Amino acid sequence: MALRKAARHTGPGYDLGANVITFEEALEAAPVIAILRGLEPEQAGAVGAVLFEAGIRIIEVPLNSPRPLQSIAMLAKALGERAVIGAGTVLSAQAVRDVDRAGGRLIVAPNTDERVIAETKKLGLVSLPGFFTPTEAFQALEAGADYLKLFPGDAVQPKVVGALRAVLPPEAGIVVTGGVGVGNIAEFFAAGAMAVAVGSSIFKPGKPVERIGADAADLIAAWKTGKAA
């Protein structure tokens, strides 16, 4: 499935270099978004490093984490040109502006809020709103969303992704979020998912950094195995 090219970031929070990785390039490298809910800023550098080493190129820090904007800023400074750093649980236009100033380039929401989508696109960021029904999916696309977050993913079977793909525009990539792990990641991609977003299978507060890296590497290996099958 061809990817829709999201606009390059042009906001004040991030100075794009000539070789900065785009969201689409990051997806092509590995279609896995690491969700770091509960991340402390003091951990951000070390966690970001092991995730990058494992092959992950997209990292999301939910805004209900401790001092999330600080973590986003630290990750953006350390990995910003080599990875796409963004925020999750973004619920207002002001939050979009805050993430932009921190250097985030991806705005992820659990819901479809036209105000959040509009502000995201105004600032040149990548919009990934949440949906659960076809009605919400089409509303998000009409509002300007770049891609769609199917949430909660642990409430659906992979065949649901296939059914949605049959009615959504070809460029409307679906990111399955929640309930994805080593055991089922290949099934979701086989059904037509563009990417998956994974939280607790990779990261939990207090989890040793080495284990985070190892679990991320296992997930990437499972995706590659499924891709080759």
Q: What is the pLDDT of residue 226?
A: 85
Which sequence spans correspond to the domains of the chain? Answer: 23-228
Token pair listed for 86: 């963004």
Q: What is the pLDDT of residues 154-199, one digit of tens each?
A: 899 999 999 999 999 999 999 999 999 999 999 999 999 999 999 9
pLDDT reported for residue 19: 83
- In the block, residue with structure tokens 């993430």: 99
Burial (CB count within 10 angstroms: exposed 0-12, middle 13-18, buried 19+), residue 86: buried
CA angle 146, 73, 176 (to 5 degrees): 35
Q: What is the mean pLDDT of residues 130-157?
A: 96
pLDDT score, position 1: 47
What is the pLDDT at residue 107? 98
Q: What is the CATH number of domain 23-228?
A: 3.20.20.70
Lookup result for tokens 């092959």: 55
pLDDT at 207 over 60: yes
Q: Global pTM?
A: 0.92
Top pLDDT among 95 and 15 is at: 95
DSSP state at residue 214: H
Instruction: Give the DSSP letter of residue 112.
Output: -
Which helix (DSSP H) or strand (DSSP E) does residue 150 occupy?
A: strand 148-150
List the catalytic residues.
60, 149
User: Token pair of 131, please?
Assistant: 């949906």
